[in-house]
Structure 1
Amino acid sequence: MRGPVKIVATVGPSSASASILAQMLSLGVDVARINTSHGSVDQWSSMLESLRRAEEAVGKRVGVAVDLEGPRVRTSNSALVKLEKGDLVTLGYMEGDIPVDSKQFFEALDEGDIVLLDDGKIALQVESVEGFQVKARVIEGGVLGPRKGVVVRGKEPDLPPLTARDRSALEFFADKGVSHVYVSFARSAEHVEKVRSIIRS
């Protein structure tokens, strides 16, 4: 038999006011999710304050889920980048046509690897690797927005279990009455235990 269904709703720019959150709670939301991939401590604090006001208005307490960004490799471009099939582009650590925010990403690359951007919407094939700079051919084009995910097909860079941003988020939320912590991109039980140890401390 299945357990009771819980509704989890993300608190974001369009839903962060107390009035909107009150409507969401009235319609059945059980858990409010705060995605720490976006925003700042000040914005997260404002979201929590709005949520508490909404709870008082509706007379209902809900869970608060903190979703950690996790050690995800992302592009660090601030503007849109148009990529057409056949283009030869440069990926570099914080530089190049497609800047990438992780040195470990480059350490995992070899000639012939397929690099997928933005959840696989864009695909590149590596032609050469020189330190923290890579030449790659676009095999599936598109428009690349800022801070999109980067993965290498069939490989995992050796990334730490938590980023500095994750630690800051955990420290901020530790005494804020949070009910859930979502550990993104966990690759072993050790990663989960690391989060638990920080929360306990």
Structure 2
Amino acid sequence: MEDISKYRKTKILVTMGPSIERDFSKISDIIDGVRFNMSHAPKAEILEFLEILNKKNISKLMDLKGNKIRIKEVNRDKLFENERVIFGKDIVPNYMPKCIEKGHRILINDGKVVLIVENIENDQIIAKVIVGGILIKNMGVNLPESCFPSTISKEDIENIKFAIENDFEYLALSFVRTKEEIENLKDVIRFYGGKCSVIAKIETKEGLKNISEILDVSDGVMIARGDLGVEIPIEYLPTIQKDIIKLANEKGKLVITATQMLDSMVNNPYPTRAEVTDIANAIFDGTDCLMLSNETTIGKYPIESVKTLDRVSRVSECDISKHRKEFHFEKKTVYAGIAYAVDALYRNLNPKIVITPTTSGKTPLRISKFRFNSPIIALAPTQIVFRKLRLIWGVIPHKIDEIGDVDEVLLISREIAKELVKSGIYIVTLGHPKGEKKTNVIKVENI
């Protein structure tokens, strides 16, 4: 195992696209995960990168389209204020919900172009342009006042099968509104024999309204600030981001903060002061992972963007305990109790490392919520769990053949501890008896 002092605790997830594809080898040892946006990523291109991603144990996240409306065809390249356009003729979307009504807003390209529905005739929507702008095929369309179907599309199902066949660790579902959508996705994954964890992307008002029950059935959450900032008044976004991070941590879920982390670096080699502060605040608030989108798909400076995120994260987390807030799990369970006990030992004994065997990744995830300065070494018996752990804050995954009985785990843990630290206390969590797949023992050891 490499020197643990080199490891960054905050994890970096990048979106694959033309910009980063050209120079992927330059950042493959820096990043922790790659996101494939299925609105843009052809499967043939994904297959080109799977070998290198698996070789380096980089976590793979497939972002499903979900019920996202996009412009399919455009017969106009620009809209002007006060003119009328016809959806289905001037602008052809991939679909429009039947519940759209007169007076509803239509927002294009993250709200940069704004229209109001004036009339609906023979399934054609006539809208007035309030704020004009450029139109390009595949631009996203938001309808803040309208409803959407909750079914998983045939295209999404084909992509889910592709993800399972190629051992993706995570599936993210766009525009989640209810817990039933997450449950439906998990049913599909189980039907095809997959082991993907499910990330709920929160980017609608309805999703915010149902956030607690959505998190209950999800494995993690992505705060998708682009579309969310269109659906709600933008001045509420910072508070909502903090609330989602807090709630997800209380429920013991993975948290990814996404969109415009370094948006200025799409066109500039340096970030703004505000962006650097935004990164640090997300880390202080308790995000596990930070994601880059346009910066690595269409940006001019993808390598510089990744390196900037790396540097800022390292400095921000340097002494995370200074910014640690009082933390409590929402539910009082044995598993939560184990994490509390590890935290109490950590505060009193200041161990050099925490070692935790895991078959699911849940124990190191719970322990990581307390934001130790010391690294958490997670012993994983399967490759998919190993790679899932790459996105959890402060966790360094370590592959083992299997999780044996208590004596075997203690022996393996001692060898790892000797390799990583010269002397001092370390903590080991254990499961007893063997095969129960639960953590119920804590052991304090000394080198």
TM range (shorter): 0.7 to 0.9
Which amino acid counterpart does residue 64 of structure 2 have in structure 1? Answer: L
Aligned equivalent of 1:151, options 113, 134, 142: 142
CA distance in 1, matches of 2:181, 2:158: 16
Is residue 4 of structure 1 aligned with residue 9 of structure 2? Answer: yes
Aligned equivalent of 1:63, options 47, 59, 65: 59
Q: Which moved more, 1:145-154 or 1:65-74?
A: 145-154
Aligned equivalent of 2:165, options 155, 175, 195: 175
Which amino acid counterpart does residue 6 of structure 1 have in structure 2? Answer: K
Maintained 8 Å contact 2:74/2:91 = no
Aligned equivalent of 2:113, options 99, 122, 143: 122
Maintained 8 Å contact 1:80/1:146 = no
Q: Which moved more, 1:76-85 or 1:162-171?
A: 76-85
In 2 relative to 1, CA 114–78 (structure 1 residues): closer, same or farther, beyond 3 Å? closer
CA distance in 2, matches of 1:51, 1:13: 17
TM-score (norm 2): 0.39
In 2 relative to 1, CA 78–127 (structure 1 residues): closer, same or farther, beyond 3 Å? closer
CA deviations over 1:58-93 (Å, ceiling 9, x no partner) = xx322111111111111212566210001111112x
CA deviations over 1:172-199 (Å, ceiling 9, x no partner) = 1103221111111111111111111111
Aligned equivalent of 1:189, options 172, 176, 179: 179
Maintained 8 Å contact 2:69/2:96 = no
Q: Which residue of 2 aligns with 1:98?
A: 91
The sequence identity of aligned pairs, in percent, is: 28
SS at match of 1:43: helix
Maintained 8 Å contact 2:33/2:61 = yes
Which amino acid counterpart does residue 168 of structure 1 have in structure 2? Answer: E
CA distance in 2, matches of 1:13, 1:112: 39
In 2 relative to 1, CA 184–4 (structure 1 residues): closer, same or farther, beyond 3 Å? same
Which amino acid counterpart does residue 198 of structure 1 have in structure 2? Answer: V
Aligned residues: 184
Which amino acid counterpart does residue 123 of structure 1 have in structure 2? Answer: V
- RCO greater where, 1 or 2, for CA within 8 Å and sep 6 or more? 1
CA distance in 2, matches of 1:128, 1:73: 20
Is residue 21 of structure 1 aligned with residue 21 of structure 2? Answer: no
Maintained 8 Å contact 2:102/2:120 = yes
Maintained 8 Å contact 1:21/1:51 = no
What value does the CA root-mean-square deviation take over the aligned residues?
A: 2.0
Which amino acid counterpart does residue 77 of structure 2 have in structure 1? Answer: V
Give ranges in structure 1 of 5+ residues lacking alignment.
none
Give 1:97 deviation, angstroms: 0.6
CA deviations over 1:39-65 (Å, ceiling 9, x no partner) = 32222212323434xx3xxxx322111
Give ranges in structure 2 of 5+ residues lacking alignment.
1-7, 192-447
CA distance in 2, matches of 1:118, 1:131: 26
CA distance in 2, matches of 1:83, 1:5: 42
Q: Which residue of 1 aligns with 2:150?
A: 160
SS at match of 1:74: strand
Maintained 8 Å contact 2:53/2:59 = no
Q: Which residue of 2 aligns with 1:76?
A: 72
TM-score (norm 1): 0.83
Is residue 86 of structure 1 aligned with residue 82 of structure 2? Answer: yes
Give 1:128 deviation, angstroms: 0.9
Which amino acid counterpart does residue 116 of structure 1 have in structure 2? Answer: L
CA deviations over 1:18-56 (Å, ceiling 9, x no partner) = xx3332122x2011111111132222212323434xx3x
Q: Which has the higher helix share?
A: 2
Maintained 8 Å contact 1:103/1:132 = no
SS at match of 1:172: helix
